[in-house]
Amino acid sequence: MGGVDLEDHKNKRELFGIIGHPVKYSLSPAMHNAAFKALGINAEYKLMDISPDDPEELANFCYETDLNHIGGFSVTMPYKNQIMEYCDHYDPLAKMVSSVNTVNVEDSQLIGYNTDAMGAAAALQEKTEIKDKKVLLLGAGGAAKAIAYALREFNAEVFIYNRTLEKAEALAEELKLETIDLDAIGGADFDIIVNATSVGMKPNIEETILRSEQIPQHAVVMDIITSPLKTQLLKEAEEAGAEIVTGERMLLHQAAGQFEIWFKQDAPIQVMEGALYAELEKRVD
Ligand code: ATR
């Protein structure tokens, strides 16, 4: 099979993994393999790079999950939407946000889920309540849509800012939210600010949509970017005296959600958290 190295699982261990391209920097194997080890689950979680250059590679991977003893898999860029074509079913949240980041293989069927939305909410909830809060969401892509949906579920008052206004308006219309102009943000006194754009991601680490003057001191500011963890936006937030939530918190909670879907039991979140930070320590930022 194409570029996916699945090895021969002679002892019939169940195989899990992450499909996407590129996946070599993924932090998911560290978290999931630590969870398997801690709970004595006979499974392994691997990187499964699927090249976007070969349209058949994704299809073949999906058709051969049973053959390869695959119990489930994570999905990352660029396949979160495309994978839906191969899912036999998906849960209503995944359908609503048109994005699947988790697939469970059940009776030879692929069932798609989205744990990004609730992962983002759980990461925020470590620092603040979401209910009735005034939230600024930066971005209107796939990640922003999942987060907007979760925030709305918690009854937050959500305003969307996006570089391309039409996309912000389309998302706001679909989810019955508001849009806001960049120059109105500073005076709007937001409680929570979430960056769901790629602005500030390596190598453009000096970029930020907002400066400290636009961030209220009482705000909680979260960035979903994990490379670097402390983005320029979060530096600006700290300068404003605001609290910050770095991207690995969402990563941890979405991974815990995946574990719960695959194994129908609570995730050993502290074990996963330890493995995540141990892995991050190894990487020079
Ligand atoms: P994802 O699925 O990860 O959300 P996406 O759908 O490509 O990815 O969305 C990327 C988001 O980052 C969009 O909101 C995009 O804004 P546009 O809709 O205007 O393209 C935003 N984004 C990316 N680069 C940006 C930049 N340099 N400045 C402002 N916004 C940017």
Q: Which domains does the chain have, with CATH numbers?
A: 6-114+250-282 (3.40.50.10860), 118-245 (3.40.50.720)
Which of 154, 95, 104 is CA-nearest to residue 124?
154
Neighbours of 47 (CB within 10 A): 17
| CA atoms 150, 156, 161, 167: torsion sign | positive
Q: How confident is the model at residue 45 (pLDDT cuts 50, 70, 90)?
A: very high
Q: What is the mean pLDDT of residues 232-256?
A: 98
> Do you find a cis peptide bond into 216, omega within 30 degrees of 0?
no
Measured in angstroms, how far is the CA atom of residue 233 from the centroid of ligand 1? Answer: 15
Give the pLDDT confidence of 122-171 residue by residue, as tens digits.
Answer: 999 999 999 999 999 999 999 999 999 999 999 999 999 999 999 999 99
Give the pLDDT confidence of 174-183 residue by residue, as tens digits.
Answer: 999 999 999 9
Protein residue with least CA distance to atom 12, ligand 1: 197
Ligand 1 nearest atom to the CA of residue 167, by list position: 18
Measured in angstroms, how far is the CA atom of residue 171 from the centroid of ligand 1? Answer: 13
Helix (H), strand (E) at residue 159? strand 157-161
Mutate to test the pocket of ligand 1, among 198, 201, 224 (most ligand atoms within 8 A of CB): 198
The pLDDT value recorded for residue 12 is: 63
Q: Share the mean pLDDT of the chain.
A: 94
Q: Is 144 in the pocket of ligand 1 (CB under 6 A)?
A: yes
Give the pLDDT confidence of 61-116 residue by residue, as tens digits.
Answer: 999 999 999 999 999 999 999 999 999 999 999 999 999 999 999 999 999 999 99
Protein residue with least CA distance to atom 27, ligand 1: 199
Cα separation, 45 vs 266, whole angstroms: 18
SS3 48: strand
Please report which residue ranges of the chain form alpha helices under DSSP H.
28-39, 55-63, 92-97, 116-125, 142-153, 165-175, 182-185, 232-240, 248-263, 269-282
Decide: 191 and 129 in contact? Cβ < 8 Å.
no
User: How far is the CA of 49 from the CAs of 72, 80, 154, 212, 276, in angstroms?
Assistant: 15, 14, 35, 39, 20
